[in-house]
Amino acid sequence: MDFALSQEHAMARDLFRSFAQNEVKPLAQEIDEEERFPSENIAKMAKLGFLGIAVPKEYGGQGCDYLTYTMCVEELAKVCGTTAVVLSAHTSLCQMPILHFGTEEQKQKYLVPLAKGETLGAFGLTEPGAGTDAAGQQTKAVLDGDEWVLNGTKMFITNGYYADTYVVFAMTDKSLGRKGISAFIVEKGTPGFTFGTKEKKMGIRGSATYELVFTDCRIPKENLLGKLGQGYAIAMDTLDGGRIGIAAQALGLAEGALEVTCDYVKTRKQFGKTLGQFQNTQFQLADMATRCDAAQLLVYRAAIDHDIPKKSSDGMCSSMAKLYAAETAMYVTTKAVQLHGGYGYIRDYDVERMMRDAKITEIYEGTSEVQRMVIAKNLLK
Amino acid sequence: MNIVVCIKQVPDTAGGVKFNPDGTLDRAAMLAIMNPDDKAGLEAALRLKDEYGAKVTVVTMGLPKADAILREAMAMGADDAVLVTDRVLGGADTWATSQTLAGALRALDYDLVITGRQAIDGDTAQVGPQLSVHLGLPIVSYTQKLRIEGDYVIAERMFDDRHHVLKVKMPCLLTALSELNEPRYMTPGGIFEAFQKPVTIMGRKDLVDTLDSNIGKVGSPTQIAKASDKVRKGAGTQYIPEDATDAAEYITAKLKEKFII
């Protein structure tokens, strides 16, 4: 067993780190402060192929593995949680279900421009009454001739408004329960598809979180993704991969906060000594670093396992990775703020933003409680 | 058009600088990066490739671990890579290095050779010009801008207070300034492709028209007497003058003390 990255992966990580530090970090504070979508970052990432890292080359992507994509999210999150989640939602939640369940025509029409970075993707599952209980979908899709007619509302949709392509879930036969849910591809600009409230959030404030409203929205019959009634299975499969993306975001936030804090305690003096010379600080940093390392091992294992279909089927690895990385993000960023003292509570310091950004990782794409349910279910089956 | 870009692996100063007992750099013990001026030269070549179509080959002389910068260059867009490595080539100064590179380049096709102005480890700026002499090529050093017109390169050569615009018939050699451009990032897919491609390895026997007396430490007229880390400057002393006259008197006294005035 060798825990070292391959030369290729190490070089890819250097690339992502360099890009994040030089291009993304300088804008992170401004994007958060102004609650502004990081369009310039996304345009640069598109040019370098970052928006298609995990998509095969024949569909316009970079043809890399899930670990490479995961490391990209991690490095972005070290400096900007917002930019990281935009990439994660685009890749894990929109590209992957089209790649895994789409027809060849759907892949050519939607996946190729998504992978080339010509379009941005989003995923619409959550509803006002269907969050953790994803099976409680109220949005309906009815077949009328050659078109599906969608009615309903989705909420908390990452990349909403800015995305061009949406994977949306709707009930096609309520009597069948979760087996009556189907998935659809909906284009921005389709008549009857509008955007509602833009949410004002605690963290990741630059990411656009919108309500999607469907009012007699007619989409072509061929925009059904996968089979009729396969929507719930598609959603669960997608979220299994999506959790690795969010776990990577959480990991990056924790590592970023640790790096910033190490720099800070080396220079900040109290009682004639740097903070780093106090044993209390050293012990705190040791705990933070150990948790970061453990989280990274879990996240990388989940990413590697994701590329092996037989291993990724139970969702255990990704749930463990997301659970631990998210709780590590909260633990480490909270400690980081504490070690910064009063400065840590000021918006001029990165750790203040990182702590706010970290909280959502315990909530979206399956709360920590849902991850525990998945893990326990596997243990007891 | 065939473009050959000479690149060098140099110590990343962030990782610290270490020396062998004989005063030469202990490259094996240091983190390494592609020399910044060479990277600008590579970017210039890749832009010519994008605009006019060209095959770009990168060449480096160094330890086997210099393979890393060749992979990086291919991940940026270079087509081929050549690593010139052999124990007998070790400890080379600029003369022996340029002789070795000339021997390697004689085995390659080129219309244009680009090197960086100078490497951040030695800062001599000698290898590019020496290489042009060995290969009998016209040279434009300190290139800050270039374009192609038919068989000619139109290049701007930087001077302190002006620049010269030169029209040079290919084949020719340019040395590139890092001001020439902003090197592109690699792409993720490009990295993985780069590691699938072969790197041509050249040893002593592959060098064309190269004398043993011109290579390696034996062929190096420069002998390093001593090398050491730069001595750090002290923190200095702070003097708060009472008024301008006091400040002037203090400064002149200090300058006299150091025999400057």
Q: What are the pLDDT digits (tens) for A53-65?
A: 999 999 999 999 9
**Backbone φ and ψ of B39, nearest 5°:** -65, -40
- Residue B231 has a pLDDT of 60
What percent of chain A is modeled with pLDDT above 90?
Answer: 93
CA distance A357 to chain B (A): 27
Unique residue bearing structure tokens 């203090």:
B250
What residue ranges of chain B have pLDDT lower than 70?
13-16, 24-25, 27, 227-233
Concatenating the DSSP letter of every residue in B189-220 gives: HHHHHHTTS--EEE-GGG-SS--GGGSTTTT-
**Chain B neighbors of A68, CB-CB under 8 A:** 188, 192
- Residue A112 has a pLDDT of 98
Give SS3 for A182: strand
Residues with Cβ within 8 Å of B92's Cβ and at least 6 positions away in sequence, in order, are: B61, B100, B215, B216, B217, B219, B220
pLDDT digits (tens, 9 = 90+) for B205-243: 999 999 999 999 988 998 877 766 666 667 788 888 999
Omega into B198 within 30° of 0, i.e. cis? Answer: no
A365 given a catalytic annotation: yes
**A65 DSSP 8-state letter:** -
- Say which of B68, B188, B195 has its CB closest to residue A49: B188
- Interface contacts (A, B; CB < 8 Å): 45
* Higher local confidence (pLDDT), B227 or A307: A307
Mutation target to probe the A interface, by most A beta carbons within 10 A, among B50, B72, B191, B193 is: B191
Give SS3 for B168: strand
- Say which of A7, A8, A62 has its CB closest to residue B187: A62
Tell me whether residues B185 and A19 touch, CB distance under 8 A. Answer: yes
Unique residue bearing structure tokens 């640790």:
A258
* Cα-only R_g, chain B: 22
The pTM of this model reads: 0.90
Cβ atoms within 10 Å of B39's Cβ, excluding its own: 25
Q: Would the pLDDT of A133 be above 70?
A: yes
Q: How far apart are the first and last CA of chain A?
A: 29
Domains of chain B by start residue, with CATH? 2-214 (3.40.50.620)
Distance CA B190, CA B197 (A): 11
**Which of A213, A230, A219, A235 has its CA nearest to residue A142?**
A219
- Residue A206 has a pLDDT of 97
Q: Residues of B at the A interface (Cβ-Cβ below 8 Å)? A: 68, 71-72, 75, 185-192, 195
The answer, for A53 touching chain B at a CB cutoff of 8 Å, is yes
Tell me whether residues A8 and B72 touch, CB distance under 8 A. Answer: no
**Chain A neighbors of B75, CB-CB under 8 A:** 11
Retrieve residue A288's tokens: 């933070």
Tell me whether residues A15 and B186 touch, CB distance under 8 A. Answer: yes
CA dist A102 → A90, A209, A223, B10 (Å): 16, 25, 9, 48
CA distance A255 to chain B (A): 20
- Say which of B71, B185, B188 has its CB closest to residue A53: B188
Distance CA B72, CA A124 (A): 39
With beta carbons less than 8 A apart as the criterion, state whether B38 and B7 touch. yes
- Say which of A8, A19, A61 has its CB closest to residue B191: A8
